[in-house]
Structure 1
Amino acid sequence: KNSLNSFSASRMSPRYKSSISEDSAPSESSREVSVLSEPPPVEMKALNRGRMGRFFRSYYVPFLLDLRTKIAVAILFIAYLGISIYGISVMEQGLDYDKLLLQTDPLVEAFAREIELFPSGDQIEIAIKKAPDMSIAENRERIEQIAQKFEQVSYSNGPKSTSLWLREYIKYANLTGSFLNDDRESWVIGVYEWSQLFAFYKLWSQDFVWANHSDYDHLSLVSFRFRIGIHDLNTPTDLVMVTEEVRQLAAQHPDLEIFTYQYSRAIADQLNVILQSTIQNDFLAVVCMIVISLLFIPNPLCAVWITIAIITIDIGVIGLLSLWSVKLDPIFMITIILSIGFSIEFSAHVTHGFVSNEGNLSPKERCIIAMEKLAWPVVHGSMSTILGVTVLAFINSYMVLVFFKTIFLVLVIGVFHALVLLPIVLAVTTPYVERLNSRLQRVSDEKKEKATTASKGSVYAITVPVNVS
């Protein structure tokens, strides 16, 4: 029993003494255990980040937060925005057909020769679906007036380039000595037979749609068309303007159902909607990215700077792509929307890494920890992606090159924002934001305290008369 008691005392006494002697001085072993159990300070954490961690802690962040560096970065950012906005202002619109082909395709050479030999010209087809009764003189005069109005549109070549069967038929009748009456024989059967003549006149048969052409008793003219020529279309805006003018003229005669068409109409219609669609889709994509960022990073400071970073990155990519021989077309619209995800990635990581640190750290310490953790992975991720898409730069295709240029610019500009711009901005603005938050919190606490005091006073006012009574 004595040995068992002594053994129990020897095993239990240290634990018992440590629990009851709270004010006694700790032993050397307990001090060692407490030191090892405490979380290491910031400096001890930084020692385990490797060479690049020490580089960002000891050299990069102090250099970045230096006043001279801040001024230089501010000037660089202003120049970046200025160049980007200039690029957006001079950006061309429209998708050239040869851009859909490989540059080695024979059609590219054919398109180039067409532009060289027949520059900036086009023909507009004007189809009258419901042809009026051409045996009536007023209807013939109306068709002539409509043709003259179309000949007066912007960039028109005038009557010399108009191909209207009515004028040619009257000229043919005068040359042959034929007398045209206001009857069916002259303006239905006569026009049909004239369009079926040999040689050059045979071409006019393609401009008519006849009903019952095998039976002269029931033969009727259903539809016909004519053409006007335009020239000096130097910019896509000129093409859009001419297209709008001819459509407005056609809309003035709904009973005839006039339709217009030209070879470059697809480009004109595309130009009408491409800018609006790009802005709308780009805006929706940015809003979605901001909402997703707020869901995963519920911090107002993060939301503000991530939003600004997305917008400035987007402006830079669009402007620099314009200066890099990229036009505003559907290919550009698709790639720029896809690139918004890349633009938010690095900025979101760095911003969250900065604001998620301990609240008692200074802005410089927060910046050091964020750069130690994230700067080198951001460099790795961006460089690996750039190297991955670099192979696309050697493919001689416009679509592939636009994709490469977009991804390259998004990554380079995104890294500039994440590793240069955002650390400076966060280090400068965080003290003011925290000061504002503490002031708002103090005001909120004072309001709660006043409300609590008022509620207590109202209770006493009710209970005192009861106690007296």
Structure 2
Amino acid sequence: MSMITASGKTARWVENYCVWLSKPLTNCSLLIILLAYWCVSVYGILNVKPDLADNKFFLKDSSLLEAITYREQYILPKYTSVTIFVSEPGNMGDKLRRNQLEKMMSEFESLPECNGAQFSRFWIRDYEKFIQASEMDEDDEQASDQLKMFVDWPEYSYWGGFMRFDNDTGELVSFFSTVAYHGEDLWQPTRRTALLNQWRAIADNYSEFSVTIYEDEAPDLDALDTLVTSTFKNSFITLLCMALVVLVFMASISSLLITLISVTSICSGVFGLVSLWGIDIDAFSMTALVISIGLSVDFPAHVIYHYYRTEDSKSLSTFKHRMQYTISSIGFPLFQCSGSSVLFVGCLLFIPCYLSEVRSYQGFLHY
């Protein structure tokens, strides 16, 4: 392996740079800077927040953002509803069973954000009034007939849209009810997720009715609880795959450790600093982070591999010469590659879109 040399100012700069890297004071200074960098990165990671705001999916000049703004400012804080499906109501001629259903609805309506029972749609309350007004006997065998009479009554006929009957037996198969809520912070996905979990906790207490909670954005809200863990899990798996590749081609534990530390440092820095930059964890940032792990392994792997190969060269006996060879052969080309990548990623900033911002910010930090 021959020494790659350069002429003029470049050669002197590389030589002086390697001499500077060889000094103990330089190593101590870089270690302090690295520790500070890690502390800031960890602080950013600990303060990361998951978010799935709708406005992230559109260009900043999109007319849909106006509709989203109106929805978040005026609709969700004033009226957020939940639909409660009861799949196994059982015999509605049983007074105790109806009382249990009323108790369940009372728990939904007892939450602080509830608009009040007068805004709920729950047919059993009108059914109780119907039974009292008609002075009917509560006979279990005639419960189906009584329910049919109830929904056929003009005053209560609209409740038929909330109930489903068996076409053969006429028995009540299932029904649903709605409860309305309000709150100035209900436009926030994290707050609606907490409220959704409260609804589900109440439903779980009445498993004999097979209660199901429906909310329009429930699938997206459920993803909030898994975004951070999924991101770390995917990042860890990707890191292991990269480590396996490095181990196969280098077969050196020391090189593997250096590569893992380098990649982990880069990824944690990207993850933490982007969080401090105001970028939350969502589908876009999670994907970009996993991609950045794959990209971040390129630079340290190339540099470490070339430095590792210098062990077989007798002409490169000192640390300074080995560093000088590595920087001349691969370090400077990688620096040029990084510069061109930054210019390319920087073009994304001209696109008024959240996705372009995420990719450009992570690109700047990564390269």
What is the TM-score when the length of structure 1 is the normalising length? 0.68
For residues 50 and 287 of structure 1, what CA distance do their matches in structure 2 show? 43
Are the equivalent residues in 2 in contact too, given 1:285–1:337 (CA < 8 A)?
yes
The CA RMSD over aligned residues, in Å, is 2.9
Structure 1: distance between partners of 2:121 and 2:149: 19
1:275 is the counterpart of 2:228: yes
Find 2:269's aligned residue among 313, 316, 335: 316
**1:98 touches 1:108 (CA, 8 Å); kept in 2?**
yes
Distance change (3 Å), C-alpha of 1:168 and 1:193: same
2:206 pairs with 1:228: no
**1:105 is the counterpart of 2:56:** no
Q: Shift in Å at residue 92 of structure 1? A: 1.2
Distance 1:157 1:362 in 2: 77
Matched, 1:375 2:328: no
Measured in 1, the distance between the counterparts of 2:74 and 2:38 equals: 41
1:150 lines up with 2:135 in the alignment: no
How has the CA–CA distance of structure 1 residues 349 and 154 changed in structure 2, closer, same or farther, with 3 Å as cutoff?
A: farther
Distance 2:186 2:107 in 1: 19
Q: CA deviation at 1:126?
A: 0.9
Select the residue among 323, 337, 350 that pairs with 1:394: 350
Aligned-partner SS, 1:286: helix
Residues 187-226 of structure 1 aligned to structure 2 (within 5 Å): 187-194=146-153, 197=155, 204-212=159-167, 219-226=170-177
Query: CA distance change for structure 1 residues 251 and 303 in 2, over 3 Å: closer, same or farther?
Result: same
Give, in whole Å, the separation in 2 of the partners of 1:154 and 1:286: 45
Distance 1:135 1:71, change over 3 A: same
Secondary structure of 1:339's partner?
Answer: helix
Shift of the alpha carbon at 1:260?
0.3
Residue type at the aligned position of 2:55: D
Query: Could you tell me whether the CA contact under 8 Å between 2:227 and 2:281 is conserved in 1?
Result: yes
CA drift of 1:342 comes to 1.0
Q: Give the Cα separation in 2 of the matches to 1:109 and 1:400.
A: 21
Question: Which of 11, 25, 38 matches 1:81?
Answer: 38
Q: CA deviation at 1:115?
A: 1.4
The Cα of 1:68 is off from its aligned counterpart by 4.3
Aligned residues: 358
Using the alignment, how far apart are the partners of 1:393 and 1:118 within structure 2? Answer: 32
DSSP 3-state at the match of 1:259: strand
The superposition leaves residues 174-199 of structure 1 with CA deviations (integer Å, 9 ceiling, x where unpaired) of 7xx554542548840233124x65xx
Using the alignment, how far apart are the partners of 2:346 and 2:37 within structure 1?
Answer: 24
Residues 266 and 366 of structure 2 are in contact (CA less than 8 Å); yes or no, is this contact kept in structure 1?
Answer: yes
- Partner residue of 2:303? 350
Q: Are the equivalent residues in 1 in contact too, given 2:14–2:324 (CA < 8 A)?
A: yes
Choose the corresponding residue for 2:241, options 277, 280, 288.
288
Structure 1: which amino acid aligns with 2:150?
Answer: V
Matched, 1:257 2:210: yes
In 2, Cα distance between the equivalents of 1:179 and 1:53?
104
In 2, Cα distance between equivalents of 1:235 and 1:69:
48
- Match of 1:314, SS state, is helix
Query: Would the alpha carbon gap of residues 351 and 76 (structure 1) be closer, same or farther in structure 2, given more than 3 Å must change?
Result: same
Percent of aligned pairs sharing the same letter: 25
Task: Indicate which of 115, 118, 121 corresponds to 2:72.
Answer: 115
The 2-side partners of 1:166 and 1:329 are apart by: 42
Cα distance between partner residues in 2 of 1:345 and 1:52: 24
Q: Give the Å deviation of 1:132.
A: 2.1
Following TM superposition, by how much is the alpha carbon of 1:51 offset from its aligned partner in structure 2, in angstroms? 4.2
CA shift, 1:69, in A, is 3.6
Of structures 1 and 2, the one scoring higher in RCO (CA 8 A, sep 6+) is 2
1:60-79 equivalent positions in 2, closer than 5 A: 60-79=17-36
Displacement of 1:390: 2.0
CA contact (8 A) 1:87 1:320 kept: yes
| 1:133 partner amino acid | N
Q: Which residue of 2 aligns with 1:338?
A: 291
Q: Distance in 1 between matches of 2:61 and 2:304?
A: 46
Distance change in 2, residues 1:219/1:108 (3 Å): same
Aligned partners of 1:123 and 1:229 also within 8 Å: yes
CA shift, 1:103, in A, is 2.4
Separation in 2, partners of 1:160, 1:325: 42
Indicate the residue corresponding to 1:141 in structure 2: 99
Structure 1 residues 51 and 338, CA, compared in 2 at 3 Å: closer, same or farther? same
Q: TM-score, normalised by structure 2?
A: 0.86
Contact 2:104/2:206 (CA < 8 Å) preserved in 1?
no
| Alpha-carbon offset, residue 252 of structure 1 | 3.6
Structure 1 residues 305 and 49 mapped into 2: Cα distance closer, same or farther (>3 Å)?
Answer: farther
Contact kept, 8 Å, 1:124 with 1:228, in 2: the verdict is yes
1:87-98 equivalent positions in 2, closer than 5 A: 87-98=44-55
> 1: distance between equivalents of 2:109 and 2:11?
73
Cα separation, 1, equivalents of 2:37 and 2:267: 12
Q: CA deviation at 1:265?
A: 1.1
CA positional deviation for 1:65: 3.7
Alpha-carbon spacing, 1:89–1:161, altered in 2? closer, same or farther (3 Å): farther
Name the stretch that deviates more: 280-289 or 268-277. Answer: 268-277
Taking the TM superposition and a 5 Å limit, the aligned residue runs for 1:12-31 are: none
Matched, 1:126 2:84: yes
The farther-off stretch of 352-361 and 289-298 is 352-361
After the TM superposition, which of the residue ranges 285-294 and 118-127 deviates more from structure 2?
118-127
* Cα separation, 1, equivalents of 2:279 and 2:136: 58
Aligned to 2:124: 166
Q: Which runs of 5+ in 2 are unaligned?
A: none
Structure 2 distance, partners of 1:240, 1:339, is 29
Q: Which amino acid aligns with 1:140?
A: R
State the 1:329 CA deviation.
1.7
